[in-house]
């Protein structure tokens, strides 16, 4: 696998993009993104598990089942959530207008929105924006498109890799947004993956959802699950490799690369948590079952007390052990070990369920770093899991205390 630094997702064969401002954001920053595949494509998706689902989520859940998906339209600055029948009608109108401009069917267009909940979409601005953006689609539009989907994010999130399948170069690339309202089982995040691999829709759907479960569904910033999250993949087959329709070696090569892209984007979202100063990675080993290891990892990464301790650079291991204890995993508390490390330096703080003495000055140096690993050995089986998140700072409260302003 070749990791392509600073390369746009439009490196994927047949993918064009554009990003513009159509006036949805008060700041005047880019707020409308359009991505288009010149080739017919298949798609799969994962959507918020919040029962309050925004209109774009409901419509995209329907359209993602289409035999062909070629376009994705995304607006930021307005979530089009909790707007009743009018919100759904506006989402439908959006897909119809994009389809008309691109000469495809409305069912072949996916739609995403992110921003403030409960405000009607200013359709006059959006309609004008769609008519303006369609002619701007190009292979050079990836950077503008990546910027147009952001809200409180401090940087765009992009990952691009290439692999070889049947002597053909296959590209997998993604963009994402997400900074706050982030919690396992999707979050106020949009993740979009594009690839030119030739793969069956059934296998793409299965492997994508499995990958999401181990990557995007293992991050948390603040414990809030949004109304608008979704993660989409579109595969257009333009690489012209032999169709992948069985779980053979070619499938494994593709899956490993897809997992890398999804995990990398998930970690970038966790790193960019609102007000965050540290990226936290929890690695749980030797759980009785995969589910147990995941429960423990998620419990630690969502513990606000633990997150506050890391912001304060306080080695309060009791909060970690406490979070493990209420995770509802099948545990043997007397067997648990916990280490904290960063940049190759490591300190064991818990052995067999009990705290250890340690050098406060040395561990303070570890906790001052901007990426910290929390290693938990359950010594209760052979199953492992990882989760990602960030610390909880004063700035998080400041940002969310005035989000609508």
Please identify every residue annotated as catalytic: 188
Q: What is the 3-state secondary structure (H, E, C) of the chain?
A: CEECCCCCHHHCCCEEEEEECCCCCCCCCCCEEEEEECCCCEEEEEECCCCCCCHHHHHHHHHCCCCCCCEEEEEEEECCCCCHHHHHHHHHHHHHHHHHHHCCCHHHEEEEEEEECCCCCCHHHHHHHHHHHHHHCECCCHHHHHHHCCCCCCCCEEEEEEEEECCEEEEEEEEEECCCCCCCCCCCCEEEEEECCCECHHHHHHHHHHHHHHCHHHEECCCCCCCCCEEEEEECCCCCCCCECCCCHHHHHHHHHHHHHHHHHHHHHHHCCCCCCCEEEEEEEEECCHHHHHHHHHHHHCCHHHHHHHHCCCCCHHHHHHHHHCCCCCCCHHHCEEEEEECCEEEEEEECCEECCCCHHHHHHHHCCCEEEEEEECCCCCEEEEEEEECCCHHHHHHHCCCCC
Count CB-CB contacts under 10 A for residue 103: 7
Count CB-CB contacts under 10 A for residue 100: 14
Sign of CA dihedral 196, 198, 200, 205: negative
Q: How far is CA 371 from the centre of its chain?
A: 19
Q: How far apart are the first and last CA of the chain?
A: 44
């Amino acid at each position: 696998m070749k990791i392509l630094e600073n390369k746009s997702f439009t490196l994927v064969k047949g993918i064009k993009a554009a990003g513009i401002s159509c006036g949805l954001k008060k700041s005047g920053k880019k707020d409308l993104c359009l991505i288009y595949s010149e080739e017919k494509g298949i798609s799969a998706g994962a959507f918020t598990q919040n029962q309050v689902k925004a209109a774009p989520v409901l419509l995209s859940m329907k359209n993602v089942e289409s035999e062909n998906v070629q376009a994705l339209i995304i607006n930021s600055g307005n979530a089009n959530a909790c707007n009743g029948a009018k919100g759904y009608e506006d989402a439908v109108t959006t897909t119809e207008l994009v389809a008309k401009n691109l000469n495809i069917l409305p069912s072949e267009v996916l739609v995403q929105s992110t921003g403030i909940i409960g405000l009607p979409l200013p359709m006059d601005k959006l309609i004008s924006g769609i008519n303006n953006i369609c002619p701007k689609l190009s292979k050079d539009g990836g950077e503008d498109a990546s910027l147009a989907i952001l809200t409180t994010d401090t940087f765009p999130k992009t990952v691009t890799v290439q692999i070889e399948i049947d002597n053909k170069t296959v590209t997998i690339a993604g963009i994402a947004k997400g900074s706050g309202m982030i919690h396992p089982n999707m979050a106020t995040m949009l993740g979009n993956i594009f690839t030119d691999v030739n793969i069956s829709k059934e296998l793409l759907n299965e492997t994508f959802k499995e990958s999401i479960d181990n990557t995007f569904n293992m991050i948390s910033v603040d414990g809030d699950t949004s109304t608008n999250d979704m993660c989409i993949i579109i595969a257009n087959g333009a690489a012209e490799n032999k169709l992948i329709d069985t779980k053979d070696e070619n499938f494994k090569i593709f899956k490993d690369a897809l997992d890398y892209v999804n995990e990398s984007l998930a970690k970038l979202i966790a790193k960019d948590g609102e007000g965050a100063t540290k990226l936290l990675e929890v690695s749980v080993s030797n759980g009785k079952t995969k589910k147990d290891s995941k429960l423990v990892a998620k419990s630690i990464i969502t513990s606000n007390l633990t997150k506050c301790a890391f912001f304060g650079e306080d080695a309060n291991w009791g909060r970690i052990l406490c979070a493990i204890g209420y995770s509802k995993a099948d545990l043997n508390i007397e067997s648990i070990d916990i280490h904290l490390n960063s940049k190759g330096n490591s300190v064991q703080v818990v052995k067999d369920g009990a705290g250890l003495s340690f050098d406060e000055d040395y561990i303070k140096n570890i906790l001052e770093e901007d990426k910290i690993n929390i290693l938990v050995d359950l010594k209760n089986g052979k199953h492992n899991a990882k989760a990602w998140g960030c610390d909880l700072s004063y700035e998080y409260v400041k940002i969310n205390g005035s989000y609508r302003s």
